[in-house]
A = this chain, B = another copy of it.
C-alpha cells in the first residue's frame, strides 16, 4: 500500500493544549505506545536507498514493516508493507541471519484522531520532540491533502515546519549534530 502523509514539527502550541482542542473537535481513536527498531542491511545501505525495515512493538502486538523509497517531494509518500509476527526475538534473529542489523530504537506515544478521510496523530517522540502526522486513509490527490493540512495549521494556530523526513532520519540527524557539537568543545 502507498502511504501518503504530512509531518509537522510542532513548536507551538504545547502538545497538551493542542490535545484539548483536538479532543473537542475530532473523533478520538486511541493512545498507542510504540517502540520501533530500525534495521540496516549489509547488502544495501538503506540510508542511501531511502528504504527501511522496522519492527514495531505496540499494545496490539509486533509488526514487521518494509518501507520503500519516498517518491514524492511535497508529501511523504512511500510504499509500506506490514505483516504481523508472533515473536520479537525470533524476528530479530531471522533478520540477523539474512544481513539486517539494528541501528536505532525510537520510542513514542501516539494519540490518534479521525477526521473524515484523515488520520491525525499527535506524536511525542523520545529525545526528539512533538509532531503531528496527517495521513490520508484512502487514495486521495496530493492537492486535497495540502489543502486540509493548511486549514488544519491555520485553525489550530500551529507554529512549526513541515518535513518529509522520517523520525529515523530526524533522530540520526540530531545524533550526528550532537556528536559533532560535542567534538567541537574538545
Contacts and interface: CB of A to CB of B under 8 A. Distances in A.
Given A64-B94, A66-B94, A94-B66, A43 B85 contact: no
A140 interface: no
Question: Interface range on chain A: under 10, 10 to 19, 20 to 34, or 35 or more?
Answer: 20 to 34
A99 B86 CA distance: 23
Given A43-B43, A43-B99, A99-B43, A90 B94 contact: no
Given A43-B99, A66-B97, A94-B66, A84 B86 contact: yes
A94 B83 contact: yes
A84 B85 contact: yes
A31 interface: no
Interface string A68-109: 100000000001011111110011011001110000000000
A179 to B, nearest CB: 30
A145 interface: no
A53 interface: yes
Contacts of A68: 97
Contacts of A85: 64, 83-86
Contacts of A94: 64, 66, 81, 83
A53 B83 CA distance: 16
12 contacts: A41-B98, A43-B99, A44-B99, A64-B85, A64-B94, A66-B93, A66-B98, A79-B97, A81-B97, A83-B86, A84-B85, A84-B87
